Amino acid sequence: MQVWPLAEQPERYAIGLMAGTSMDGIDAALVRITGKGDTIQVQTLATYHSPYTPDEREGLLRLIRGGSLADLCAWDAYLGERFAQTARELIERAQSPRIDFVGSHGQTAWHAPNAHLLGKPAPNTLQIGQPDVIATRLNVPVVADFRTRDIANGGQGAPLVPIVDWLLLRSETEHRIALNLGGMANITLLPANSTPEQILAFDTGPANALIDLAVARYTHGARRYDPDGTYAEQGAVDAALLEYLMSHPYLHQPPPKSTGREAFGEPLLEEIVANFPAVSPLDLIATLTEFTAASIADALHRWILPSYPIARIIISGGGVHNRSLWRRLRQRLPNLHLCTSAEFDIDPDFKEAIAFAVLADRFLQGLPATYPNTTGVRTPTLAGKLSLP
C-alpha cells in the first residue's frame, strides 16, 4: 500500500542523512530516484560530510557512557538542528531542481535488541536527531526512526541496508557479498537471481570502532582513526589477545544478529587493556585490525561459504581506506575477488547515506525494508515513520 503521493512521481529527489557508530560526523547524499518497486534506479547527484567537532564527539560519547535524561533530550534536539544544517549545506553545494523528502537514520544512542527488564524481554533501540526539527527547518517530509517497527515485530532492528544492497548490487548470474566497514562490520549475502526474501544479512562484529578507540587512547585524542592502516602496519599481532577476542560469544551466535558499541566499544577496550597490559599500543592496534579481518572471514566461512560459491565481495564504508585491513582481508579470503562499491557507481564513503534516501523512498511506496533473513523479523516489515513540516 502506498502511503504518500510523492511515491507517484516518476522521479524523486531525496537526501539521505547518516551518522554511524564511528561517531565521526554526519554523511549526506542527494540522489535522484526513478522507477518503482524492486526496479528503481538511483543516481547520486552530490555528497557532503560534516565532521563532528571534538566537543560534539566527546559529548556524545559521554551521553552513551552514562548521560542523564536531560542530556539525552538536549542531544536529541541539538542533533535535529545539526542534521538539518548538514542537509542545508549539501543543498547549497548541489545542483538539484528540488528536494522532495529526506531519509534520516539519526545517531544511534543505544541498541539493545536482546535486553530484558524485570525478568521480561525489553528489546530496544534509540536513534536521536529529532526528525520533526529536520522537517520543519527544511520544509520537506522526513522519514526516520527506521528500526523500532522491526523490533516490535520480533526483529533485531538491524541491519537496515541489505534491501538497498539487493536493489543496487544484485546479479542475475553470480553470488555476491556486500560488506560494509563502518563502526561495525555487516555483510549482505546476495544470491544470484534472488528475491528480497532470499538475502541474508547480519553484523559480523566490529570494523573500525575498536581500532578508532585504541588510536584515540594512545594518541591522547590527536588522532581518532588509523589513517591508511599506518599504525597497524607498524605493530605485530599478539596471538593470545587475538585468541581472546575471537572467543567473544557474539561471534558464535547464528544470524540474523546485530551488535554495536554496547558489545564492541569502550568497555571491551578497557577489559582488553586490563587483561593484556604488556601489549604495546602499536601491537594492540595491529591485533584489533587483525580481529576485524578474522571475525569477518570467520563469519563467511561459518555461515556463508559452505552453501554459496561467492564470486566477489563489494566493500564500502570508512574501512575501505585502511590498507592494512585490506591486506589482512585478502590474506584470509585469498580465493575471493574484493572490490569497492565505486565499481558500481556507489561512493563507498556515502553508501549508507544513499541507502537511507532509498529506504525513505521505499517507505513512501509502502514497501517492506526488513525481512526474516536480514533482521529476524517475523514477516517482511515496513521501516520508518513520517514527520511533516
Radius of gyration of the chain (CA): 20
Q: Do 359 and 292 fall within a single domain? A: no
- Give the chain's domain count: 2
Give the span between the Cα atoms of 41 and 264, in whole angstroms: 36
Identify the pLDDT of residue 65: 86
Q: Do 95 and 185 fall within a single domain? A: no
Q: How far is CA 67 from CA 59, 61, 109, 139, 222, in A?
A: 9, 9, 10, 31, 24
The per-residue pLDDT for range 5-46, each reduced to its tens digit, is: 777 788 999 999 999 877 889 999 999 999 999 999 999 999
Q: To the nearest 5 percent, what fractions of the chain are helix, strand and coil?
A: 45, 25, 35
Helices 266-275 and 209-218, packing angle to 10 deg: 60
Residues in the chain: 389
Give the span between the Cα atoms of 294 and 333, in whole angstroms: 10
Give the span between the Cα atoms of 159 and 261, in whole angstroms: 14
Q: Do 330 and 361 fall within a single domain? A: no
Instruction: In the chain, count H helices and then E strands.
Output: 14, 14
Vertex 229: Cα angle to 176 and 295 (nearest 5): 45
Q: Do 118 and 142 fall within a single domain? A: yes
Q: Do 277 and 361 fall within a single domain? A: no
The per-residue pLDDT for range 32-88, each reduced to its tens digit, is: 999 999 999 999 999 999 999 999 999 998 998 899 999 999 999 999 999 999 999
- 256 preceded by cis ω (within 30°)? yes
- Host H or E run for residue 387: strand 385-387
The per-residue pLDDT for range 146-161, each reduced to its tens digit, is: 999 999 999 999 889 9
Average pLDDT over residues 124-148: 97
> What cell does 301 get?
566461512
Task: List the domain range (segments joined by +) for residue 190.
Answer: 169-344
> What cell does 41 get?
534506479
Q: What mean pLDDT value characterizes the chain?
A: 94
Q: Do 263 and 327 fall within a single domain? A: yes
Q: Do 205 and 297 fall within a single domain? A: yes
**Beta strand 124-128 pairing with 101-112:** antiparallel
> What cell does 23 get?
561517531
Give the span between the Cα atoms of 304 and 313, in whole angstroms: 12
Q: Do 133 and 274 fall within a single domain? A: no
> What cell does 113 get?
535488541
The per-residue pLDDT for range 326-361, each reduced to its tens digit, is: 999 999 999 999 999 999 999 999 999 999 999 999
Give the span between the Cα atoms of 121 and 131, in whole angstroms: 28
The per-residue pLDDT for range 244-297, each reduced to its tens digit, is: 999 999 999 999 888 888 899 999 999 999 999 999 999 999 999 999 999 999
Average pLDDT over residues 150-175: 95
Please tell me the number of Cα atoms within 13 Å of 267 on its side-chain side: 8
Identify the pLDDT of residue 4: 66
The CATH number of the domain holding residue 198 is 3.30.420.40
Cβ atoms of 169 and 176 closer than 8 Å: yes
Q: Do 111 and 193 fall within a single domain? A: no
Note the Cα 61 to chain centre separation in Å.
18
Residue type, 113: P
Is residue 1 pLDDT above 50, yes or no?
no
- 113 preceded by cis ω (within 30°)? no
> What cell does 284 get?
594492540
> What cell does 309 get?
560459491
Is residue 2 pLDDT above 70, yes or no?
no
Q: Where are the alpha helices (DSSP H) in the chain?
A: 54-66, 69-93, 131-138, 148-152, 162-169, 209-218, 230-234, 239-246, 249-252, 266-275, 281-299, 323-332, 351-364, 372-375
Give the span between the Cα atoms of 322 and 339, in whole angstroms: 13
Q: Where are the alpha helices (DSSP H) in 247-371?
A: 249-252, 266-275, 281-299, 323-332, 351-364
Q: Do 121 and 26 fall within a single domain? A: yes
Q: Do 30 and 69 fall within a single domain? A: yes
Q: Do 340 and 356 fall within a single domain? A: no
